[in-house]
């Protein structure tokens, strides 16, 4: 393998992580603007994660046959067209755009995580830090544009959509670095491409009937064998890597999309607490602020894993469950009368989530055999999306239930803008 400049690789993968995740974050930050106060924000979360989950679940069975440069082009087309639709005023078109952006995000995560197999820890650290920065810049940038500079919602969304063309930087990295790779990894990829083109419809149509039957029978057997082998490999990843990551993401996204929209405080001048932040002008500002603090925590933890390593992933799961219970109690009983402690808790929640993500993939790089690593890096990404998907389903019922209770309790803020 060619010797590469570590800073160069880190920077490129940082940019890829930033671009791949920023649209996902912006869409979640804009959830309250997209569906309004009357619909659960988990509706946006569901549209933002389900397509990503589907592509991740299916990708272990086919992604090895798609060359990386073809994947990059598809990412640009999906994400840019998706954000154009998200910026429309029609809710159905908007949800369709979210779906396209979600497909891009899921496919991109699998793609770039697998690329880290070739560029090792420096690329994974760059990717992880970039995805963390995406959260911070996405939510913070959206807060800045819409709440501070008062840029219209639709224009703000279109601005972020332009960033997807930054994926073109991959081709510069490909020219300078990837062509120098030698050895087993390249041989595996070449064999995959050869297998893909082994059966040509034109050639097979010219075969005698008997030989065609045998030909396609062998193809079916190979497909069956491939599916069974892939499922066996996936099963070995569930307990040590996928389950703890799923658990962390389940509870943190229950907080983010189902509970935090109800962690509100009075903004009326007659009842407003003196300690309420001055930049809370509308109730949607509270939600966007929570999103920004969460993403700040994610960014910090994803960028410092080389300094603070956590190998016991289930500890992070347990701590995230505690966070969920604390926020749920606050939403139900309104224990705290000012948001500052909650803002710290949301920040801490982001630290745990980001730490779980990067440490999971670092453990894979360090623990698994080289023949399994590239597959595992892409496949384990199913876990975080599955946790978010479960959170979206539960949130569709949880947020309205919490809001109804608050209305009955004389706290109507969850229905106010």
Residue 267 carries which DSSP code? -
Q: How many Å apart are CA 395 and CA 389, to the nearest integer?
A: 10
**Predicted local distance difference test score (pLDDT) of residue 280:** 84
Q: How much is the mean pLDDT over the chain? A: 85
Q: Is the pLDDT of residue 411 over 70?
A: yes
Q: How many Å apart are CA 222 and CA 48, to the nearest integer?
A: 34
The mean pLDDT of 396-415, rounded to a whole number, is 94
**Predicted local distance difference test score (pLDDT) of residue 212:** 52
pLDDT digits (tens, 9 = 90+) for 238-257: 999 999 999 999 999 999 98
pLDDT digits (tens, 9 = 90+) for 297-332: 999 999 988 788 889 999 999 999 999 999 999 999
Between 325 and 63, the more confident residue is 325
Which residues contact residue 245 at a Cβ distance below 8 angstroms, ignoring those fewer than 6 apart?
313, 356, 357, 360, 380, 383, 384, 387
**Predicted local distance difference test score (pLDDT) of residue 416:** 86
Residue of 322, 380, 328 lying closest to 352 (CA atoms): 322
CA 321 to chain centroid, in Å, comes to 20
**Domain ranges, ordered by start, for the chain:** 6-197+236-415
pLDDT digits (tens, 9 = 90+) for 166-200: 999 998 875 445 444 444 444 444 444 444 344 44
Contact predicate 30/256, CB 8 Å:
no
pTM: 0.79
**Span of 16-20, 125-129, 187-191, 345-349 with lowest mean pLDDT:** 187-191
Torsions phi, psi for 269 (to 5 deg): -55, -30
pLDDT digits (tens, 9 = 90+) for 89-132: 888 899 999 999 999 999 999 999 999 998 878 899 999 999 99
Q: Is the pLDDT of residue 218 over 80?
A: no
Q: How many Å apart are CA 34 and CA 41, to the nearest integer?
A: 9
**Predicted local distance difference test score (pLDDT) of residue 191:** 45
**Predicted local distance difference test score (pLDDT) of residue 217:** 60
CA within 13 Å, CB half, 210: 0
In 144-183, where does DSSP find H-type helix?
153-161, 169-176
Confidence grade of residue 82 (pLDDT, cut at 50, 70, 90): very high
Contact predicate 110/378, CB 8 Å:
yes
**Predicted local distance difference test score (pLDDT) of residue 2:** 40
Q: Is the pLDDT of residue 410 over 50?
A: yes
Confidence grade of residue 231 (pLDDT, cut at 50, 70, 90): very high
Contact predicate 358/128, CB 8 Å:
yes
Q: What percent of the chain has pLDDT over 70?
A: 88
Contact predicate 44/31, CB 8 Å:
yes
* CATH number for the domain whose boundaries are 6-197+236-415: 1.20.1250.20
CA 145 to chain centroid, in Å, comes to 22
User: Cβ atoms within 10 A of the Cβ of 234, count?
Assistant: 18
Q: How many Å apart are CA 248 and CA 354, to the nearest integer?
A: 10
Q: Is the pLDDT of residue 142 over 80?
A: yes
Residue 240 carries which DSSP code? I
Q: How many Å apart are CA 294 and CA 255, to the nearest integer?
A: 10
Q: How many Å apart are CA 128 and CA 130, to the nearest integer?
A: 5
**Span of 260-264, 282-286, 312-316, 331-335 with lowest mean pLDDT:** 282-286
**Predicted local distance difference test score (pLDDT) of residue 89:** 81
The mean pLDDT of 345-363, rounded to a whole number, is 95
Q: How many residues would you count in the chain?
A: 417
Q: What does 84-130 look like in DSSP terms, one character per residue?
A: HHHTSS-HHHHHHHHHHHHHHHHHHHHHHHHHHHHHHHHHHHHHHHH
């Amino acid at each position: 393998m060619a010797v590469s400049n570590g800073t160069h690789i880190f920077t490129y993968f940082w940019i890829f992580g930033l671009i791949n995740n920023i649209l996902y974050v912006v869409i979640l930050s804009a959830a309250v603007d997209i569906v309004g106060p009357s619909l659960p924000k988990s509706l946006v979360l569901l549209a933002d994660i389900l397509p990503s989950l589907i592509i991740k679940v299916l990708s272990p069975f086919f992604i090895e046959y798609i060359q990386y440069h073809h994947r990059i082009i598809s990412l640009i087309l999906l994400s840019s067209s998706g954000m154009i639709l998200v910026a429309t005023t029609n809710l159905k078109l908007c949800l369709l755009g979210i779906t396209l952006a979600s497909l891009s995000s899921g496919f991109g995560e699998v793609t770039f995580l697998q690329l880290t197999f070739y560029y090792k820890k420096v690329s994974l650290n760059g990717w992880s830090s970039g995805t963390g920065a995406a959260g911070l810049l996405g939510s913070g940038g959206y807060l800045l544009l819409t709440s501070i500079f008062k840029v219209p919602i639709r224009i703000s969304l279109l601005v972020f959509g332009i960033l997807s063309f930054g994926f073109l930087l991959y081709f510069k990295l490909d020219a300078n670095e990837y062509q120098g790779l030698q050895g087993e990894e390249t041989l595996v990829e070449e064999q995959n491409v050869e297998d893909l083109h082994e059966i040509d419809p034109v050639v097979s149509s010219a075969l005698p009937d008997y030989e065609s039957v045998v030909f396609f029978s062998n193809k079916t057997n190979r497909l069956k064998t491939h599916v069974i082998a892939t499922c066996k490999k996936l099963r070995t990843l569930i307990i040590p890597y996928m389950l703890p990551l799923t658990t962390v993401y389940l509870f943190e996204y229950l907080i983010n999309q189902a509970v935090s929209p109800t962690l509100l405080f009075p903004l009326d001048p007659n009842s407003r607490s003196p300690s309420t932040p001055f930049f809370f002008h509308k109730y949607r500002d509270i939600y966007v602020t929570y999103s920004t603090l969460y993403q700040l925590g994610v960014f910090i933890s994803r960028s410092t894993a080389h300094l603070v390593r956590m190998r016991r992933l289930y500890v992070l799961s347990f701590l995230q469950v505690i966070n969920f219970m604390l926020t749920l109690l606050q939403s139900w009983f309104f224990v705290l009368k000012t948001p500052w402690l909650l803002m710290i808790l949301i920040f801490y929640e982001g630290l745990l989530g980001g730490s779980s993500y990067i440490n999971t993939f670092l453990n894979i790089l360090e623990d698994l055999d080289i023949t399994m690593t590239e597959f595992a890096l892409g496949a384990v990404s199913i876990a975080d999306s599955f946790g978010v998907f479960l959170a979206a389903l539960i949130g569709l019922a949880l947020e309205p239930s919490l809001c109804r209770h608050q209305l009955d309790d004389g706290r109507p803020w969850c229905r106010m803008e």
